[in-house]
Structure 1
């Protein structure tokens, strides 16, 4: 007997499908502007980050258009769009970018603290190389994030634990393979924030050099908090005066 196994929908997918249903029912028509993210979040009792991810899902499906500084507008009806499906990805497999960043924050901060107890001189040398790569990419305006990724993966390797290293590699692979992550970045044209991230990395490296687990853990946590807040603020389309509190 074949047993059908259904994959639970992610929260952003549930919110996105709810918005689809409101469009389908005629509450919103093609050309209409959707309510501001903050209003949707309050009405559905979820964070704005989840609503942002739901809008990105609808954007990828071609149902809405995001207009910077103006809002989100309905561009197509959902009749011919299969619910829960993202283009160019496995059904239901994509992770929302802010959910992914939150997972990385929890995991990588703990790994950084653990790595501080096991880091070697060779690891420190590799981390310096990664920062140099990152610095050169910034100076030349290079669009890749090779140095950034190299830095985080090297910290995981410095834990001397292959399971932890594999976990971080998987998180980065999910990011690199995520249509939603790429779509989020289409809204962001100002990349000066990368300089601040390099400074964050230098603080993490300093804590690792001192073999200070708590300092390394806190520095990584704050770094990924800065990443979340910055990307959320820069990708906002509803309110140019966004207050900056991601989970308010």
Structure 2
């Protein structure tokens, strides 16, 4: 065999930090690490990977630069949505300046969530359904104690996205709710919040029964109700700003 015919290639000596990066990226790509998930504390990661702190920090900093994780002082490192920040940041500013933009985001959300509800009814595991039921229990507990349910609402819809077992949908929903929850949360007061809870119950029951059409219809009814609340809120704000 001549050198020209040689099919072998040199073995790549990969840095340890690069191997950590590859592992985390693979877990995100497979859906085992989801947006918002916290990575274990650094000391635990050092033991798991059997690496020094500088090596671990090098890997985490690189993942942060790539947009896969978010690091903050005195807080756990968390998985970021793969929806680019150069898309969400301008939207966030626009939502602050023009609340009517929220309605357009609601429309976009409806298109995605109809599919999420159908896929969740088809694919949800027992673990997915248990998570949705825990979300309902948490929401009911907060309603009984007159507490805000904004975070529970976001958690519920992200849980449905995860029950669809489509990781692209999950990342999209995480970003959408990160943008919307502040605005939508203003709508959830008193009777409205209880109605939202009942609608969530109907969606979970349809998913639990693996009834795709009922899940889709229940989700449509729920989002139409939320849109009507948001329209009412916008009308109030518009009237308040008139000279």
Gaps of 5+ in 2: 1-88, 96-100
SS at match of 2:107: helix
Q: Tell me by how many angstroms 1:233 deviates.
A: 2.4
8 Å CA contact 1:133, 1:146 repeated in 2: no
Cα offset for 1:163?
0.8
CA distance in 1, matches of 2:124, 2:188: 36
Q: Where do 1:72-221 residues align within 5 Å?
A: 90=90, 93-95=93-95, 96-176=101-181, 181=183, 185=186, 190-221=189-220
Query: Once the two structures are superposed, what CA deviation does each residue of 1:149-190 show, in whole Å capped at 9, x if it has no partner?
Result: 1111111001111111111111111224x6xx38x93xx695
**1:103-152: CA deviation from partner (whole Å, max 9, x where unpaired):** 11111111110111100001110000000111111111112412211111
Q: RMSD between aligned alpha carbons?
A: 2.5
CA 1:97 to 1:125, structure 2 compared with 1: closer, same or farther past 3 Å?
A: same
Decide which structure has greater helix share.
2
8 Å contact kept, 2:139–2:149:
no
Higher relative contact order (CA 8 A, sep 6+): 1
**Which residue does 2:74 correspond to in 1?**
none
Moved over 6 A (4+): none
Cα shift readout 1:183-212 (whole Å, capped 9, x = no counterpart): x93xx6954201001010011001101101
For 1:137 and 1:163, locate their aligned partners in 2 and report how far apart those are by CA, in whole Å.
30
The alignment covers a number of residue pairs equal to: 145
- Gaps of at least 5 residues in structure 1 are 1-88, 240-248
